[in-house]
């Protein structure tokens, strides 16, 4: 068994102005993050999470290290929110999957209500339990799935990255075999599109990760697109694992969708889509130059006065 094609797609949806979701599609590491917070803070939180997760990719070995990179992401977001008043209170979900082709497993770590599913033999199995208010009410039997789907507080999450110094991360390791497809998604998909409809679309697209990603995002928008929607899909195919080159450095270009076929496309141009990219260093450099100029002027002024 080895990883086959993989694809990720994110869309603002039809109601929101900004897209606060981010994703990572860097085989064998995949993640979805769904940010929250005022102004640009939600976007910042999910991007910080995605960047920290991606950075940790080379250190990942198994379940514990996947949880470790999620905790690192938490610490980074929390530090930033303490330091930066405009980002105070920001947070994000994170659902991460790391595939070990040799062991034929995926280590899954998650915080919040972004989900991981395994699609096998026509059956869609949810691999994560939502850390959400309605999720807890359903688990304790006080709410049915149908009631939860229309509950006014269905988007309230009970655990997030970045809101506290420490976070409890749920982890598990699941077995994989060729023919499986794994789907990670933000609640912009799972709240808008029922599991049966997801299954129908996976069948219709023959579980092609790229086609399925497009179909799922389109379905969420057709259903109202009330939230940002993000999906990451990867397939497991027959064959021996191929030695995997180190992930390429991000070139900072922004794209809204990507498809990678592993392992060949790992060397491709752009399998990374979230910022901050190299371009964003320029404002900081200009600011530094401006500050130096002001300092020089003040020194000169103090002499000529
Ligand atoms: Ca969301």
Q: How far apart are CA 38 and CA 173, in angstroms?
A: 35
DSSP output for 178-247: TT-EEEEE-HHHHTTS-HHHHHHHHHHTTT-HHHHHHHHHHHHHHTT--S-EEEEEEEEESSPPPP-PPP
Please give the pLDDT value at position 265.
35
Compute, in angstroms, the gap from residue 187 CA to the centroid of ligand 1.
5
β partners of residue 22: 33
Compute, in angstroms, the gap from residue 20 CA to the centroid of ligand 1.
8
- Positive or negative: CA dihedral 259, 261, 266, 269: negative
State the DSSP H helix or E strand holding residue 65, giving kind and residue range, or none if neither.
helix 63-83
Q: Which residues surround ligand 1, an ion (CB under 5 A)?
A: 34, 186-188, 227
Total H helices, total E strands in the chain? 8, 12
pLDDT digit string, tens, across residues 284-303 = 778 888 888 888 888 888 87
Best CATH choice for the domain 2-279 from the list 3.30.2140.20, 3.40.140.10, 3.90.550.10, 3.60.40.10: 3.60.40.10
Average pLDDT over residues 139-150: 91
Compute, in angstroms, the gap from residue 103 CA to the centroid of ligand 1.
33
Compute, in angstroms, the gap from residue 179 CA to the centroid of ligand 1.
29
Q: What is the pTM of this model?
A: 0.79
**If 0-12 CB within 10 Å is exposed, 13-18 middle and 19+ buried, where does residue 297 land?**
exposed
Average model confidence (pLDDT) across the chain: 87
Between residues 59 and 176, the one the model is more confident about: 176
């Amino acid at each position: 068994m080895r990883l086959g094609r993989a694809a990720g797609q994110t869309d603002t949806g039809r109601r929101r102005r900004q897209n606060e979701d981010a994703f990572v599609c860097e085989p064998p590491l995949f993640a979805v993050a769904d940010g929250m917070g005022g102004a640009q803070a939600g976007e910042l939180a999910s991007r910080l999470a995605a960047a920290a997760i991606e950075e940790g990719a080379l250190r990942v070995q198994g379940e514990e290290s996947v949880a470790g990179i999620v905790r690192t992401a938490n610490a980074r977001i929390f530090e930033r929110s303490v330091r930066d008043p405009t980002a105070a209170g920001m947070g994000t979900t994170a659902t991460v999957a790391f595939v070990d082709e040799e062991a034929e497993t995926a280590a899954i770590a998650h915080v919040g209500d972004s989900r991981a599913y395994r699609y096998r033999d026509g059956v869609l199995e949810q691999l994560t339990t939502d850390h959400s208010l309605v999720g807890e009410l359903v688990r304790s039997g006080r709410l049915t799935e149908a009631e939860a789907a229309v509950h006014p507080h269905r988007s309230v999450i009970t655990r997030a990255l970045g809101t506290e110094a420490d976070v409890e991360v749920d982890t598990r390791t699941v077995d994989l075999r060729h023919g499986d497809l794994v789907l990670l998604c933000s609640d912009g998909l799972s709240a808008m599109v029922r599991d049966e409809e997801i299954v129908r679309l996976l069948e219709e697209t023959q579980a092609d990760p790229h086609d399925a990603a497009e179909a799922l995002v389109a379905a969420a928008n057709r259903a109202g697109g009330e939230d940002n929607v993000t999906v990451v899909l990867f397939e497991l195919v027959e064959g021996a694992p191929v030695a995997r080159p180190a992930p390429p450095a991000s070139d900072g270009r922004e794209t809204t969708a990507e498809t990678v076929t592993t392992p060949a496309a790992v060397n491709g141009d752009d399998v990374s889509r979230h910022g901050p990219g190299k371009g964003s260093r320029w404002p900081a450099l200009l600011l530094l130059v401006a500050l130096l100029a002001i300092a020089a002027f003040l020194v000169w002024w103090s002499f000529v006065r």
